[in-house]
């Protein structure tokens, strides 16, 4: 099991550029989430998904889009990058997993460090 | 809404010292409570959790007890090691209405343990 994988690990964008952060999990988890981590702010939920084809907004959704066409993948799109989106982005998943796991135990990817100039 | 407040860092200790990181929460109902740890350059990983009042979560020598009367979930370890240096996050899950996956995190506490 690779767990939760994220690409790229680092990215530098110019203001106004667009890009997609990739996230994939191989645990057959129903739930996937995107968080951003900023100094002194902890983790804040951007978007989440409860299954393929179903997504919803979290605490800080503006400027980001998501889709979930498969159980495994949950990409995060920045439509027009702004300096305020400079952050570390974490993808997480959770699910029943068939092995006593519960949906509230989240598994995190290693993160993508994004800088917007 | 739900919120988590944890003690501000950074916390610097010598090896074998006693550790306490305070965490209090505000939530309706009966949330589940968690401590996650983030080692340098890595994502978060679950350290321990407790799902009901008076439960004690424990792992790797760390402990935390779910105190509903004081709405607290303080993290403790009797003797820290250099390898415990990391950022520690307290978090809660609403544990109701099928939304267990929506965690609310505290701001994190950086712990540095010196040899």
Three-class SS of B54-89:
CCEEEECCEEEECECCCCECCEEECCCCHHHCEEEE
Cα torsion A77, A9, A29, A78 to 10°: value is -10
- From CA A69, how far away is CA A4, in angstroms rounded? 17
Q: Are B7 and B106 in contact (CB under 8 A)?
A: no
Q: Which residues contact A71 (CB under 8 A, 6 or more apart)?
A: A28, A29, A30, A51, A52
User: How would residue B78 be classed by pLDDT, with cut points 50, 70 and 90?
Assistant: very high
Q: A63 — alpha (psi -120 to 50), left (phi > 0) or beta?
A: left
The pLDDT, as a whole number, for residue A33 is 94
- Token pair in block for residue B66: 């779910």
Query: Which tens digits make up the pLDDT trace of A36-88?
Result: 999 888 899 999 998 899 999 998 999 999 999 999 999 999 999 999 999 99
- Are the beta carbons of A40 and B49 separated by less than 8 Å? no
To the nearest whole percent, how much of chain A has pLDDT over 70? 92
- From CA B66, how far away is CA A66, in angstroms rounded? 35
Q: Is the pLDDT of residue A98 over 60?
A: no
Q: Which residues of B touch A40 (CB under 8 A)?
A: 107
Give the nearest partner residue to A104 out of B89, B93, B108, using CB atoms. Answer: B93
Residue A106 phi/psi, 5-degree rounding, is -95, 145
**Kind of pairing between the strands at A54-57 and A112-116:** unpaired
Q: Which residues of A touch B48 (CB under 8 A)?
A: none
């Amino acid at each position: 099991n690779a767990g939760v994988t994220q690409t790229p690990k680092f990215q530098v964008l110019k203001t106004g550029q667009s890009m997609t952060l990739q996230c994939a999990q191989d645990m057959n988890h129903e739930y996937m989430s995107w968080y951003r981590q900023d100094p002194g702010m902890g983790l804040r939920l951007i978007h989440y998904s409860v299954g393929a084809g179903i997504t919803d907004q979290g605490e800080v959704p503006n400027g980001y889009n998501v889709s979930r066409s498969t159980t495994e993948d949950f990409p995060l799109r920045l439509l027009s990058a702004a300096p305020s989106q400079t952050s570390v982005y974490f993808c997480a998943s959770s699910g029943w997993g068939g092995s006593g796991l519960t949906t509230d135990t989240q598994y995190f990817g290693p993160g993508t460090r994004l800088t917007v100039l | 809404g739900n919120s988590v407040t944890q003690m501000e860092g950074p916390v610097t200790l010598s090896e074998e010292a006693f550790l306490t990181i305070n965490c209090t929460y505000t939530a309706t109902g009966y949330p589940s409570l968690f401590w996650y740890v983030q080692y340098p350059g890595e994502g978060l990983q679950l350290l321990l959790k407790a799902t009901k009042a008076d439960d004690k979560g424990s792992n790797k020598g760390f402990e935390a007890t779910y105190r509903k009367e004081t709405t607290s979930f303080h993290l403790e370890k009797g003797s820290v090691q250099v390898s415990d240096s990391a950022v520690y996050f307290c978090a809660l899950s609403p544990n109701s209405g099928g939304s267990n996956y929506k965690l609310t995190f505290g701001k994190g506490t950086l712990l540095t343990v010196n040899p």
